A and B are shown apart, each in its own frame.
Chain A
């Protein structure tokens, strides 16, 4: 076998092996995406109920809660970045990191300093490679998030929010995550979590008379109890969205990798056939040439 032919054969082999891996990952993601989407759908009633309750308190009472009031001096902003643990998901992690960088640049231009909370090994790797500090890191289980992690993250950010500036507290909290739009589209999204912007309820201006709400024990206590839950549910929702988006992104990336491997295999097979053919041609002409050379000597 000629040298050229051997090179082509080994390239075909390696493309085939790669294709096996990418195909398997594609199938795994495809099967998990359904589950992840279902979890997003299942958590929706919870977050909707909490959002409605929070906006009810916010619109029907005049309680000024520290979590809803915008502070006069905004010095520090916290950015929570949701990435994945593993790569091979196309631009999934890098697009969210890029979005976070531009948000950080914007915040810095407003004179705020930025601290980071990171979720996922990819964000951690990005920061440690650049030797940048982060406040806290959570890794593991980004593709199948558990509620405990959401609770931990919520506790950490709310604690940081409630601290004084001198103790390293923050005045704003932003979430940056990939929102699952569809199987083919995941959009990085920025949400300002705190101070709270209650969107719902403000749209219906005072044309109708609000029903009088009764709070038990009182509006302040209710808000006290509700807001941490609200923060938690928003973070939980972001984690679930991010997980679904991760699977979708990985499936897409692995599909195109498998397709590319197919193309490579086809191209190299053609080249290999070509090389084999020309080898045979060369051998024939060598034999013919050799026979011709010997023919006159016989006479």
Chain B
């Protein structure tokens, strides 16, 4: 498998979560998108909904990120939203 993704979930007040993940699934304004390592650079606006992160250790994280956006660059995924929070 390719190198893992570096994922961070950030809200206005603090960094909520950061770590390595194998896959990130988010819902953008155009539909759901799954991101694996080696994805091309991207900037997307998130629709209301959840972002799912499959960590390298096999856990599944779900975060709520309304009015946010997602950026992918060199296997670094940043999910930014004014009020983001971890659901589970």
CA distance A45 to B43 in the complex (A): 17
A53 touches B80 (CB 8 A): yes
8 Å CB interface, A39-58 against B: 39, 42-43, 45-46, 49-50, 52-53, 56-57
A46 touches B44 (CB 8 A): no
8 Å CB interface, A203-241 against B: 211-217, 221-222, 225-226, 229, 232-233, 236
Least Cβ–Cβ distance between A142 and chain B, in angstroms: 17
Give the one of B11, B44, B71 with max A CB within 10 A. Answer: B71
CA distance A147 to B69 in the complex (A): 18
Q: Given A49-B78, A147-B82, A42–B14 Cβ distance below 8 Å?
A: yes
Which residues on B sit within 8 Å (CB–CB) of A221? 29, 45
Residue of A nearest to B45 (CB): A225
Least Cβ–Cβ distance between A50 and chain B, in angstroms: 6
8 Å CB interface, B34-88 against A: 40-45, 67, 69, 71, 73-74, 78, 80, 82
Q: Given A214-B40, A216-B45, A229–B10 Cβ distance below 8 Å?
A: no
A43 touches B30 (CB 8 A): no
Q: Given A217-B29, A222-B69, A57–B13 Cβ distance below 8 Å?
A: no
CA distance A192 to B72 in the complex (A): 28
- Dominant secondary structure at the A interface: helix
Contact of A215 among B10, B12, B33, B43 (CB under 8 A): B43
Contact of A45 among B10, B42, B69 (CB under 8 A): B10
Least Cβ–Cβ distance between B55 and chain A, in angstroms: 19
CA distance A53 to B67 in the complex (A): 15
CA distance A236 to B80 in the complex (A): 15
Least Cβ–Cβ distance between A134 and chain B, in angstroms: 27
How many contacts between A and B, using CB within 8 angstroms?
85
CA distance A222 to B67 in the complex (A): 12
Query: How many residues of chain B have a CB within 8 Å of chain A?
Result: 25
CA distance A191 to B39 in the complex (A): 36
Q: Given A214-B40, A216-B29, A46–B12 Cβ distance below 8 Å?
A: yes
Q: Given A53-B69, A216-B30, A222-B69, A46–B10 Cβ distance below 8 Å?
A: yes
Which residues on A sit within 8 Å (CB–CB) of B8? 45, 49
- Say whether B15 faces chain A, with CB atoms less than 8 Å apart: yes
B13 touches A211 (CB 8 A): no
CA distance A211 to B39 in the complex (A): 11
Contact of A233 among B12, B40, B78 (CB under 8 A): B12
Q: Given A147-B13, A216-B28, A56–B44 Cβ distance below 8 Å?
A: no
B42 touches A213 (CB 8 A): yes
A42 touches B78 (CB 8 A): no
CA distance A217 to B69 in the complex (A): 11
B42 touches A42 (CB 8 A): no
Q: Which residues of A contact B (CB under 8 A)?
A: 39, 42-43, 45-46, 49-50, 52-53, 56-57, 60, 147, 211-217, 221-222, 225-226, 229, 232-233, 236
Q: 9 more A-B contacts (CB under 8 A) besides A46-B80, A52-B73, A229-B67?
A: A43-B12, A43-B14, A49-B71, A49-B78, A57-B43, A211-B73, A216-B30, A217-B30, A222-B43
For the complex of A and B, list the 8 residue pairs with the smallest distance between their C-beta atoms, beginning with the closest. A216-B44, A42-B14, A45-B15, A214-B42, A211-B41, A49-B80, A45-B10, A213-B41
